[in-house]
Amino acid sequence: MGETEFTLLDGAMGTMLQAAGLPAGTLPETWNITRPEEVTAVHRRYVEAGSRVLYANTFGVNRLKTAGCGYSVEELVAAGIRAARAADRGEGVRVALDVGPLGQLLEPLGSLRFEEAYDIFKELVLAGEAAGADLVVFETMSDLYEMKAAVLAAKENSRLPIWSTMTFEQSGRTFLGTTVPSMALTLTGLGVDALGFNCSLGPAELLPLAEELRRWTDLPLILKPNAGLPDPATGAYALQAEDFARQLVRGAELGVTVLGGCCGTGPDYIRALGRELAGRKPGERPAPDRRGLCSASRTVPLDGRVRVVGERINPTGKKRFQQALRERDMDYILQRGVEQQDAGADILDVNVGLPGLDEPALMRETVKALQAVVDLPLQIDSSNPAAIEAGLRAVNGRAVVNSVNGDRETLEAVLPLCKKYGAAVVGLCLDKNGVPRTAEERLAIARRILAAAEAYGIPREDVLIDCLTLTVSAQQEQAAETLKALRTVSGELGLHTVLGVSNISFGLPAREQITVSFLTQALAAGMDLPIVNPNQAAVMDAVAAFRVLSGQDPNSAAYIERFAAAPAGEPKPRTGEPMSLETAVAKGLGAEARALTEQALESMEELEVVNRLLIPALDRVGERYERQEIFLPQLMSAASAACEGFEAVKARMARRGAGTVSKGKILLATVKGDIHDIGKNIVRVVLENYGYTVLDLGRDVPAEEIVRTAIQEDVKLVGLSALMTTTVPSMEETIKALRASGHACKVLVGGAVLTPEYARQIGADFYAKDAKQSADIARQVLG
């Protein structure tokens, strides 16, 4: 191809090996060892066709997939790199360690832990670098989280350049929902060397995605498409080499510089591509014009428009939240997350700092759990660098760190983490001397933070400044200073600004008036990231109104929808229409159940409310269920409503430091090998309603973990679920392990394929046909 600014990759490997006689069902990578000359011959054909980067025949090597094939990961990788290297006869070919998906889904959809995925990739990268690979390519990924584990493993354990390509559908998403902007923001942030797309689509279908991609990154772009779309009946690809090349050249016009072929392509395709590219220059690439934060499936652009940061995941001053953290009550925290997303938050602040708790571990756990149920970008809020790093590592997407300040120590501790994980950062306008009194002094600190961030290679768009709200009842003149500082930081420095506003009204009556008024003024001064409680309707109303007045809500569409959708008075309890707590529970009316419980708590003790009102209400619903007057979803709606009532009780007890009401601990788990857990989750809700403390170990739980927890927590009742016939043996093993441990406890089993006879056979003490029966059994065992 001669002198060129393009890098020509190779085409498909697997089909070429099959054509060379690789039998169906044989791992292609074993040929690296048994028939290396065949593998080299395929590589050589690509070199002769013009390829200058060869992907070694290592795509499917990893300890999950190739265990039991007779060769170790090191052997397969070393032989694969060697076979590719042997195809270079002085052309100066680079050899890439080629790494595909692990074949097991990561949490939360699957059960492979992020940390384990990292470990598997680490083993591969170490083997590849030792074998002399020139770079590592992670390709065909559809899970951004898996890609992140791979990239971190390569970054932290080798010096190999990293290329990342993911597999998209025409919808612009991967199978797991990752979007082009999410991929670009996350991987650019993590510092890969080039990124793009491979497989799944043909060149024509990938072009619009490449066009989108270049708006979000300035890294070199890669396109390695299939030979068109496969025939559904045969899986065969129809696009011919010349057409493939002509279509793909349009990618080069968009500025893509690394090009090759995936499924269905062969040496002819690469040769044709080389001919088409000869004499061409890559198209001009405009500077990327998009920035933002993201989860794997949702992007929040930072473009000056108002983005609401939800502040409710934070224990400061909240007794009930503190209690939840101490008890590792993840459900409570997740409810705060989902509630805020439903209320219109764009970003969630996550703060789990509480003295005496392991903040890094708690941060990791909370971030992972939140990501399973909300798709908002996260703001990792901590003053502990270890907790910040734990959070940034666990995040799937691109986060923001809250916070650094003008103090050199925090800048030096936190900014390198932001750089490493590609996070944006909030800078507070304060330092060792506290909050400066004047806007000018705050501006000076903002400049200092910006300079430090830029020195670490963090671009200025990613530095978000907090000019700090002080309490107006204590320091009245400071409200104006904050607004003045805001105007300068956003106007003169051109930085995004964040501001927690609720502090402003502390100590005053009718706080909401002050808070909302200050919020509106701050927004008008250019603040684009308010940190607020999105559950406060007045606050979100003010944001909605501001979006209309500032032209951010075209045709006032969102505003109209917001107010058209909410008929006056709902969902607050209707007054004048007396309803008993029992009726509220029976009808599944959560807000009513909560309000009526609060009312009852005014004249009754907590335990009395639980035992005389809530539990009897649930019992009544349970009886109707048993008489088949209602069925399971209705029972569960009632249970969810009763939960709201219990929440009111817990909140009150937490406020007066009264500890907890618990009738005893129950451990629940879906056994190893099984991933169907909705049934177990239903049982959990019902048991919690009856006042039991449930330790929910999740799904696919190994027997050892169940035994260990049962002993450590001295649990007297263990509930196991399994949905599939194939996982019942795993249940039996778990029961055996519990018995063998000598720990005295009763075992309750349930699940679609179980019967009372079967339950006895595998050594269980009880069989429950449904959630209601589980509660009856719990009462029998624990009282």
Partner 1 sequence: MEPRLTGINRREALIYLGYRGGALEGVEEELERCEELVLKTARPRAVWRRFALLPDGSLEGADFRPEGEDVQALLAESREAVLLAATLGAEIEALVRRTQVRDMGRAMLLDACASAAIENVCDNLCADLAAELAPLHLTDRFSPGYGDLPLSCQADFFRLLDIPRRIGVSLSPGGLMLPQKSVTALLGLADRPQPRRSGDCAVCGRFEDCSLRKEGIRCGRN
Please report, as residue ranges, which positions from 573 to 612 form the binding site for partner 1 (by CB under 8 A): 587-588, 590
> Cα dist. 359→317, 364, 651 in Å?
17, 9, 23
Minimum separation from the CB atom of position 96 to partner 1 (A): 20
Map the footprint of partner 1 across residues 624-663, applying CB under 8 A: 628-640
Q: Which of 470, 539, 535 is nearest to 505 (CA)?
A: 470
For residue 686, the minimal CB distance to partner 1 (Å) is 9
**Taking CB under 8 A as the rule, does residue 301 contact partner 1?**
no
* Touching partner 1, residues 351-380 (CB under 8 A): 372-375
Closest to partner 1 by CB, 712 or 726: 726
CA distance 558 to 421: 34
103 binds partner 1 (CB under 8 A): yes
Is residue 758 involved in binding partner 1 (CB under 8 A)? yes
Q: Is 286 in the site for partner 1 (CB under 8 A)?
A: no
Give CA–CA dist 408/395, Å, rounded. Answer: 26
Interaction of residue 674 with partner 1, rule CB under 8 A? yes
Return the residue matching tokens 């990239």: 151
Taking the complex as a whole, how short is the minimal distance between the CB of residue 731 and partner 1, in angstroms? 12
Answer yes or no whether residue 334 interacts with partner 1 by CB under 8 A: yes
Dihedral, CA of residue 401, residue 405, residue 410 and residue 416, to nearest 10: 50
φ, ψ at 128 (rounded to 5°): -65, -45
Smallest distance, Å, CB 69 to partner 1?
15
Rounded distance, CA 195 to CA 422, Å?
15
Minimum CB–partner distance for residue 628 and partner 1 (Å):
5
* Closest distance of CB 527 from partner 1, Å: 30
Residue 173 CB, shortest distance to partner 1, in Å, is 8
563 in contact with partner 1 (CB under 8 A)? no
Minimum CB separation of residue 763 from partner 1 in Å reads 18
Binding segment (CB under 8 A) for partner 1, from list 449-457, 518-526, 543-551, 723-731: 723-731
Q: How far is the CB of 34 from partner 1 (least distance, A)?
A: 18
Query: Is 86 among the residues that bind partner 1 (CB under 8 A)?
Result: no
CB-hemisphere CA count at 13 Å for 522? 33
The answer to whether 293 and 44 are in contact (CB under 8 A) is no
Q: How far apart are CA 772 and CA 783, in angstroms?
A: 15
d(CA 84, CA 42): 9
3-state secondary structure at position 233: coil
Q: How far is CA 378 from CA 26, 341, 395, 454, 512, in A?
A: 44, 12, 8, 22, 26
Based on CB atoms, which residue is closest to partner 1, 122 or 336?
336
**Only segment of 443-451, 523-531, 573-581, 718-726 that touches partner 1 (CB under 8 A):** 718-726
Q: What span, in angstroms and rounded, lies between the C-alpha atoms of 621 and 680? A: 20
Q: Which of 2, 25, 68, 576 binds partner 1 (CB under 8 A)?
A: 25
First to last CA, the chain: 81
Q: Is 338 in the site for partner 1 (CB under 8 A)?
A: yes
By CB under 8 A, residue 737 contacts partner 1? no
- Sole binder of partner 1 in the list 111, 323, 366, 721 (CB under 8 A): 111
Residue 476 interacts with partner 1 (CB under 8 A)?
no
* Torsion sign (Cα): 759, 765, 769, 770: negative
Q: Which of 482, 727, 734, 774 binds partner 1 (CB under 8 A)?
A: 727
> Could you tell me where the beta strands, DSSP code E, fall in 183-236?
194-198, 221-224
Q: How far is CA 686 from CA 57, 666, 677, 771, in A?
A: 52, 12, 15, 6
For residue 234, the minimal CB distance to partner 1 (Å) is 7
Interface region with partner 1, contact rule CB under 8 A, candidates 31-39, 233-241, 304-312, 614-622: 233-241
The interface mask with partner 1, positions 165-204, x = CB under 8 A, is --x---x--xxxx---------------------xx----
Region binding partner 1 by CB under 8 A among candidate stretches 275-283, 354-362, 441-449, 672-680: 672-680
Number of Cβ within a 10 Å radius of residue 361: 13
- At its nearest, how many Å lie between partner 1 and the CB of residue 13? 14
Q: Is 42 in the site for partner 1 (CB under 8 A)?
A: no
| Count of residues in contact with partner 1, rule CB under 8 A | 73
Q: Whole-angstrom Cα distance, residue 262 to residue 223?
A: 9
CA distances from 306 to 68, 344, 498 (A): 55, 12, 10
